């Protein structure tokens, strides 16, 4: 079962890529500093994801204006993330690789194995907003084929201190 509002957001430290730059994304680095929008998506180069992530990119300034950072998370590798970002024309937020141990972060958030579909090796599509205190302040799990509404996420973010 997916985490719900009020739950402590499990910390994670994943290899990540922003553009062609590799690094790490550690959730606890933002505790007390920024809100974090965690976008769990299925896989790089899949139809919905190629629409979803550019929408977050298009509204990145709005997220920053709400004192939030965005991170995409999937079980793809960092190398796949780099190629995917290049194919998308460049994304300015990190894509983190929940690869090893496989899907541990998705498991910690209660969305792996998938609850909303039956495709093996793919986590649920979900978005979690983590507040500055490290608590889940908003969460939504989507059908795999559904495109999340970035406006809805931004509206939810406005209500979070």
| CA–CA separation, 102 and 83 (whole Å) | 20
**Which of 3, 37, 49, 82 does the annotation list as catalytic?**
49
| CA–CA separation, 13 and 94 (whole Å) | 12
Catalytic annotation on 30?
Answer: no
| CA–CA separation, 145 and 74 (whole Å) | 15
Residues catalogued as catalytic: 49
């Amino acid at each position: 079962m997916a985490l719900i509002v009020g739950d402590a957001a499990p910390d994670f430290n994943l290899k990540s890529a922003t553009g062609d730059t590799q690094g790490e994304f550690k959730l606890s680095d933002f505790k007390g500093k920024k809100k974090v929008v965690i976008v769990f998506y299925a896989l790089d180069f899949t139809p919905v994801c190629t629409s979803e992530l550019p929408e977050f990119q298009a509204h990145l300034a709005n997220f920053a204006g709400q004192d939030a950072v965005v991170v995409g998370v999937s079980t793809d590798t960092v190398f796949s993330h780099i190629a995917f970002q290049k194919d998308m024309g460049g994304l300015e937020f990190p894509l983190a690789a929940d690869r090893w141990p496989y899907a541990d972060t998705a498991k910690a958030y209660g969305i792996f194995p998938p609850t909303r579909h039956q495709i093996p090796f793919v986590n649920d599509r979900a978005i979690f907003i983590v507040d500055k205190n490290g608590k889940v302040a908003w969460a939504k799990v989507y059908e795999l084929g559904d495109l999340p509404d970035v406006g809805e996420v931004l509206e939810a973010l406005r209500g979070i201190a």
